[in-house]
Structure 1
Amino acid sequence: MGFGDTAKKIQTLADRAERTYQKINELRDEVEQTQTTVLDTSERVQTLENEMAEQRAVLDAVAREVGVDLDSVSTEAHITEAERAAAAEAEGGVDGDETVDGTSEDAEEAEETKDGDEESPTDA
């Protein structure tokens, strides 16, 4: 009977080894997929950062051409957003709609400031 028990234990061990091997292969595949995804994402982020830098350069050039002070517009937008965030926090939290509204209002304020600066050189 000793050989029967030993054979059964060896078979159980072999089954466990096979399952472990399969699991390791699955994990290896998942790690490879994750690495590929990370590399692809990194490339996309780098491309987007380059595009944003190009757009910023164009925006700066256009702003200088029309006489808009981007630093002051940016500062005003940040101050306004900080005030809204503080007010929302005081009210007990920020609602998703408030963030969207705040962002669009900042864009409108920046546009109004830009429009106002565009008219002042022609008025003078």
Structure 2
Amino acid sequence: MGLGSTAKKVQKLADVAEKTYKRLNELREQVQDVRSTVDETGERVETLETELAEQRAILDAVAGELDLDADAIAADVDANAGESPAEGSAAEDAPADS
């Protein structure tokens, strides 16, 4: 009788261990997928930052050629960012010499 009870306990423990092992493997795969996604995202961000810096340099050069203050324009855009499109365009659409 004692051996049967012990065998059941050992089998139950083995079943729990097997389920835990499977779950750990699933979690390991999920972590690897997340790491891969994070790495890919990091590479994309680096590429976008490089492209953005290049575009900014081009815009600064064009603004310089046209005697425009790119920083002032950017500040104006930031200041108007809270306005709705209708608010921002109403002043622009009004006739200048009425």
The TM-score, its normalising length taken from structure 1, stands at 0.65
The TM-score, its normalising length taken from structure 2, stands at 0.82
Question: Cα RMSD (Å) of the superposition?
Answer: 1.8
Confirm whether residue 44 of structure 1 aligns to residue 44 of structure 2.
Answer: yes
Q: What SS class does the counterpart of residue 81 from structure 2 fall into? A: helix
2:39 maps to amino acid: L
Deviation digits for residues 73-96 of structure 1 (CA, Å, limit 9, x no counterpart): 1122222225x3xxxxxxxxxxxx
Q: Aligned ranges for residues 83-122 of structure 1 at < 5 Å?
A: 84=83, 98=84, 101=85, 105=88
Distance apart, 1:66 and its partner CA: 1.1
Length, aligned pairs only: 89
Q: What SS class does the counterpart of residue 68 from structure 1 fall into? A: coil
Larger Rg: 1 or 2?
2
- Higher helix residue share: 1
Q: Which runs of 4+ in 1 moved over 6 A?
A: none
Greater relative contact order, per chain length (Cα 8 Å cut-off, separation 6+): 1
Equivalent-residue separation in structure 2 for 1:12 and 1:60 (angstroms): 71
Equivalent-residue separation in structure 1 for 2:6 and 2:81 (angstroms): 73
Q: State the percentage of identical aligned residues.
A: 49
Equivalent-residue separation in structure 1 for 2:55 and 2:78 (angstroms): 20
For structure 1, the residue ranges without an aligned partner over 5 or more in a row are 85-97, 110-124
